[in-house]
């Protein structure tokens, strides 16, 4: 079956996703900010891109709420930066556990408790992006805790020429 693709301004699309999650969080402790100063347009299936960003935000949500509950983070925040041709998603949590850094995008890899995650979210992100010729990687930049924490979506393969 042929997928329906449409042209999407990435910054506006990321803002829609952020708005949806803000409503879900219903004035809770989580916040999300979008920086789209370096916007661009892609041609992709809307549902596919929604699933990709949702999976990343849901991961951040889980870890940030865990840290907030124990008082490790006072104001948990997710950031989405649009930097043509990348979308960079990160949060102010502890970052990726070093034990799973090298295998994070493989199926069934998770640092979550066995009953709280199956380790498929980031694998699905990888597969959905790969089906478009796009990719996801962890930025080599480390946070103040010494952990990798930025997810870089390379959307160059679906970017529409200006």
pLDDT 10s digits, 122-152: 899 999 999 999 999 999 999 999 999 999 9
pTM for the whole structure = 0.92
78-106 pLDDT tens trace: 999 999 999 999 999 999 988 888 878 88
What are the residue ranges spanned by the domains of the chain? 6-158
Q: In this structure, what token pair is assigned to residue 125?
A: 């992100």
- Give pLDDT tens digits for 26-38: 889 999 999 999 9
pLDDT at 161: 86
CA distance linking residue 101 with residue 82, whole number of Å: 24
Place of tokens 């999300």: 32
The DSSP bridge pattern shows strands 77-83 and 31-38 to be parallel
The Cα 116–Cα 89 span in angstroms is: 22
Q: From 3.30.1360.120, 3.30.565.10, 1.10.10.10, 3.40.50.2300, which CATH number describes the 6-158 domain? A: 3.30.565.10
Cβ atoms of 82 and 38 closer than 8 Å: yes
């Amino acid at each position: 079956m042929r997928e329906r693709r449409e042209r999407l301004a990435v910054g506006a699309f990321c803002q829609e996703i952020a708005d949806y999650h803000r409503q879900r969080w219903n004035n809770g402790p989580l916040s999300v900010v979008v920086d789209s100063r370096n916007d661009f347009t892609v041609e992709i299936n809307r549902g596919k891109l929604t699933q990709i960003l949702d999976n990343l935000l849901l991961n951040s949500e889980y870890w940030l709420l865990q840290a907030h509950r124990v008082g490790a983070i006072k104001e948990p925040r997710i950031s989405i930066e649009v930097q043509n041709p990348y979308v960079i998603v990160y949060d102010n949590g502890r970052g990726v556990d070093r034990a799973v850094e090298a295998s994070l995008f493989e199926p069934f890899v998770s640092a979550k408790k066995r009953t709280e995650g199956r380790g498929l979210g980031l694998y699905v992100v990888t597969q959905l992006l790969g089906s478009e010729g796009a990719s996801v990687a962890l930025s080599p930049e480390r946070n103040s805790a010494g952990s990798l924490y930025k997810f870089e979506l390379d959307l160059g393969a679906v970017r529409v020429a200006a």
